[in-house]
Chains A and B, each alone.
Chain A
Amino acid sequence: MRTTSATDPDVAGTGDAPVNGGVDAYRRRHRGRTRTVLLLLVPLVLASLWALLVGGASHGMRESWDALLAGLTGSGGTEVDLIQRIVWQLRVPRMAMAVIGGMALALAGMLMQTVLRNPLASPYTLGIASAASFGAAFAIILRSSVLTIWGNVPYDWIIVTNAFVFAFIATAVVYLLARVQRVTPETIVLLGIAMMFLFSALTALLQYLGDPDQMAELAYWMFGSLNRATWTKLAITAAVGLVGVGLASRWTWDLNALMADDDTARSAGIDVSRRRLQALALASLLTATVVSFLGPIGFIGLVAPHLGRMLVGADHRALLPTSLLLGAIVLVLADIAARTLAAPVTIPVGILTAFVGVPTLMFLMMRRTKEHW
């Protein structure tokens, strides 16, 4: 799949001049990466199609396929039948949300890992999941007092806005502290962990005060679920995701340099602190959006970038699209499992992402030929 020539610079911008046919090797390698990215589109398309054809309803895959086509061609008469509604109003937004949500989490994870130069970093490193959970807990347990602030907002949007607001607050605190202080990745990680514990404690306090009914609702929220996907939420997530991918793809060289070390990046003319904070802010925005809509779905943001590095190396020009595709594939597959393993019962997808992701990670770790971290 990819060449493993030891002379290839794994990280572009390390200053190693290509020697003796190195240019050819580099080009070969780059073509290989492009091929890998294109090849990953195949499982993503297949998984997405599969996601549209199966579910908790008893209709067969053939029926679902016909309904999918009928919806595309606009046929189906005046009375649109149930399976067509199920496919187009439930499965399509759900699958698309899995694709976009998976991509957003993978991108956020990649940015965090790179700018913090920490393989354990994930979209939740800055405490966003805990902060969002606190926001949800705030909405669920202290509902009446929140209502007076938000006015007559639909119930599920109270939770969404709350989760987003608190995720944003957590990020802003870390961001501002990091700006005031001299920014080192270690400091930021530490601040993030501090925020995580603070919001976990606040959530635990609310749980302690809440009644069992509310705790049950919060517990379900904290599992993370694609049940909550709708076209509106999908549109918002897609818009944020597009901005994210757009910015990140312009930063790939900077990210490569930041991945090496701050001095290298500085010598390449990059305003290290500024770019780092920008990347963190972007990652946080992506994460906050996904988490407030779907709940804290774990593991994807951590594992997708690592899988990507194993497949294409740490050059962000290739790593970015690879991580995006892998994040989407893992979440789509996890959601298929969530909906079909015990149908019509759904298993919270946050539980299954690890079951899909860990074996993949282990398989690739067994096969890998060199360190990418």
Chain B
Amino acid sequence: MFSMFSLRRRRRPVVVTLVLGLVLAACAGAADDAATDAAASPQDEVSEDALVSDDDTNDETTDGEASAETVTVTDTAAQTLEIDLPVERVAILDSGTADVLRALGVLDRLVGNHQAVVEDSFFAEIADVPAVATHSEISFEALAEAQPDLVISSTRAHGVVTDNEILAGLDIVDLKLSLRQPELMKQEVALLGQIFQVEERAQELIDFYDRWETEIAQRLEGVTDEERPRVFVEYHAGDYATGGPGSRFYEQVVLAGGNNLSVDIDGEVQVDPEWVAEQDPDVILREVSASTLGYDVTSTDEAEQVRDEIMSRPVIDATTAVRNGAVYLVPTNIYSRPAYIIGVLYLAKWLYPDRFDDLDPDEIHREYVETFHPGIEHQGIWAYPTDRS
């Protein structure tokens, strides 16, 4: 309760500025349309070579007469965008984006933060970057004040910009990314590498994904399709909520060598319990939120509760998964976020304990944190149940 009220107090200024911001930004929007049109005129796409630069020099090229390099990119929402390089000021409208920006080493270019990141101890070093967005609102006034060149918003329900007119009026480019689906992650990371001119760093992250995806594939060589365990994924909305191909919750299972039950399901929906019972999954994977498992979690009590509830559901309790105790929990942050590969590794080990006997997902997670989140201590509880818990 106490944290709730302190949160509210901290957020009050955001609400006030939001209301004012909407009014002011709406006025500004009309005036600056012409400027946007000019910026949108096609220029030569810079060559690949021109984009390769090392991180250190980027920070110096802030003077106004910097090279008028422009890249034309297509984002995940299929928008074609012209972006002036270098991008020195960026704002995030989706909490998940901070993760990949730190991995790329460009978090120091953040001028507009997300409220959830401000409050997240995992991102302590940017806690004083002012918030421009919460999960439910974008403060356009705060955005105008932060003066980012670029905002990274989401193709998902939250962190979505629908008021592009206002952003255009503020001369801010809106880059829409998912950053939640493994099948899109590498191209999105590469795109960010291009935009921030840190291709090498982006490639390191992509290599990390590739390295472990390849490792899993190699260890599963010879496992036929029929032999692959059938996995039902229930995501954080609970109660038989699951996702088919193209959703945030599907591809991870395939990467881990499982057959996702939801192969014929369209989108993210709730399915009938009796269908799940009939399909008889070998494994049930529950994706949980950061309050149940993650960086700040020190006890498995909540995870145990969630797992017990699933295992005691009528008829589901007779499935192969429950009878074998194969009901596992991973948090969103290592499943449908840039650290997805860690969740995939946990799942692979759960699916094939023999083949992954010598592989410790927690150690690989530690390596991931040390490499891509330098200076951050690897802590918390990230999967349940494991040998450790």
Residues of chain A at the chain B interface (Cβ within 8 Å): 55-59, 82, 85-86, 89-91, 93, 142-145, 147, 152, 154-156, 205-217, 219-220, 225, 227-228, 230-231, 339, 342-346, 348
B271 touches which of A85, A208, A211, A345 (Cβ 8 Å): A345
Is B203 an interface residue, CB under 8 A from the partner? Answer: no
**Given A85-B318, A143-B291, A219 contacting B272 (CB threshold 8 A):** no
Of all A-B residue pairs in the complex, the 9 with the closest CB atoms, nearest first, are A56-B272, A344-B275, A213-B289, A56-B275, A213-B236, A216-B237, A57-B278, A89-B314, A155-B309
B314: chain A residues within 8 A (beta carbon): 89-90, 93, 230-231
| CA distance in complex: A32, B169 (Å) | 70
A to B CB contacts below 8 Å, 28 in the list:
A56-B272, A56-B273, A56-B274, A57-B272, A82-B315, A90-B314, A142-B4, A143-B291, A144-B302, A147-B302, A152-B301, A154-B305, A155-B308, A155-B309, A208-B11, A208-B136, A209-B8, A211-B135, A213-B332, A214-B291, A215-B135, A217-B289, A228-B239, A231-B314, A345-B265, A346-B240, A346-B272, A348-B270
A266 to nearest B CB, angstroms? 46
Give B78-132 interface residues, CB cut-off 8 Å to A.
95, 116
- CB–CB B237/A154 < 8 A: no
Which of A55, A57, A345 counts the most chain B CB atoms within 10 A?
Answer: A345
- CB–CB B270/A227 < 8 A: yes
Nearest residue in A to B307 (C-beta to C-beta)?
A155
| A contact face: mostly helix, strand, loop, or mixed | helix
Is B7 an interface residue, CB under 8 A from the partner? Answer: yes
Give B251-295 interface residues, CB cut-off 8 Å to A.
265-266, 269-275, 277-278, 280, 288-291
A89: chain B residues within 8 A (beta carbon): 314-315
B271: chain A residues within 8 A (beta carbon): 56, 344-346
Nearest residue in A to B3 (C-beta to C-beta)?
A145
Is B312 an interface residue, CB under 8 A from the partner? Answer: yes
| CA distance in complex: A217, B237 (Å) | 4
| CA distance in complex: A346, B332 (Å) | 24
| CA distance in complex: A209, B8 (Å) | 8
**Given A205-B8, A219-B237, A220-B237, A90 contacting B273 (CB threshold 8 A):** yes
A155: chain B residues within 8 A (beta carbon): 305-306, 308-309
| CA distance in complex: A231, B290 (Å) | 32
**Given A212-B158, A346-B271, A227 contacting B4 (CB threshold 8 A):** no
| CA distance in complex: A86, B332 (Å) | 31
Nearest residue in B to A214 (C-beta to C-beta)?
B289
B278: chain A residues within 8 A (beta carbon): 56-59, 82, 86
- CB–CB B270/A210 < 8 A: no
B332: chain A residues within 8 A (beta carbon): 213
- CB–CB A156/B289 < 8 A: no
Which of A91, A211, A213, A231 counts the most chain B CB atoms within 10 A?
Answer: A213
A215: chain B residues within 8 A (beta carbon): 135, 158
Give B206-255 interface residues, CB cut-off 8 Å to A.
235-241
- CB–CB B289/A154 < 8 A: no
Nearest residue in B to A343 (C-beta to C-beta)?
B272
Nearest residue in A to B309 (C-beta to C-beta)?
A155
Nearest residue in A to B305 (C-beta to C-beta)?
A155
| CA distance in complex: A86, B317 (Å) | 12
- CB–CB B291/A144 < 8 A: yes
Is B134 an interface residue, CB under 8 A from the partner? Answer: yes
A55: chain B residues within 8 A (beta carbon): 272, 274-275
- CB–CB A225/B275 < 8 A: no
Which of B1, B241, B265, B275 counts the most chain A CB atoms within 10 A?
Answer: B275
Nearest residue in B to A344 (C-beta to C-beta)?
B275
| CA distance in complex: A156, B239 (Å) | 10
Is B66 an interface residue, CB under 8 A from the partner? Answer: no
| CA distance in complex: A152, B314 (Å) | 21
Nearest residue in A to B244 (C-beta to C-beta)?
A345
Nearest residue in A to B240 (C-beta to C-beta)?
A227
Q: What number of B residues sit within 8 Å (CB to CB) of A?
A: 47
B31: chain A residues within 8 A (beta carbon): none
- CB–CB A216/B236 < 8 A: yes
| CA distance in complex: A212, B237 (Å) | 10
Which of A206, A214, A225 counts the most chain B CB atoms within 10 A?
Answer: A214
Is B157 an interface residue, CB under 8 A from the partner? Answer: yes
A345: chain B residues within 8 A (beta carbon): 265-266, 269-272
Q: Chain B 186-217 against A: per-residue CB contact (8 Å), 1 yes, 0 no? A: 00000000000000000000000000000000
Which of A59, A86, A143 counts the most chain B CB atoms within 10 A?
Answer: A86
**Given A144-B302, A220-B237, A154 contacting B291 (CB threshold 8 A):** no
B116 touches which of A211, A228, A346 (Cβ 8 Å): A211
- CB–CB A85/B277 < 8 A: yes
Q: Chain B 16-36 against A: per-residue CB contact (8 Å), 1 yes, 0 no? A: 000000000000000000000
**Given A156-B309, A212-B157, A230-B314, A86 contacting B240 (CB threshold 8 A):** no
- CB–CB B308/A220 < 8 A: no
| CA distance in complex: A216, B288 (Å) | 11
B1: chain A residues within 8 A (beta carbon): 142, 145
**Given A144-B302, A345-B270, A85 contacting B290 (CB threshold 8 A):** no
- CB–CB A86/B236 < 8 A: no
A207: chain B residues within 8 A (beta carbon): 136
Nearest residue in A to B154 (C-beta to C-beta)?
A212
| CA distance in complex: A214, B289 (Å) | 7
Nearest residue in B to A144 (C-beta to C-beta)?
B291
B238 touches which of A85, A86, A217, A344 (Cβ 8 Å): A217
- CB–CB A220/B239 < 8 A: yes
A82 touches which of B277, B289, B290 (Cβ 8 Å): B277
Nearest residue in B to A348 (C-beta to C-beta)?
B270
- CB–CB A344/B272 < 8 A: yes
Nearest residue in B to A205 (C-beta to C-beta)?
B8
Give B322-358 interface residues, CB cut-off 8 Å to A.
332
B288: chain A residues within 8 A (beta carbon): 213
B317 to nearest A CB, angstroms? 9
- CB–CB B277/A220 < 8 A: no
B275: chain A residues within 8 A (beta carbon): 55-57, 343-344
A212: chain B residues within 8 A (beta carbon): 95, 135, 157-158
A348: chain B residues within 8 A (beta carbon): 270
B95: chain A residues within 8 A (beta carbon): 211-212
B289: chain A residues within 8 A (beta carbon): 211, 213-214, 217
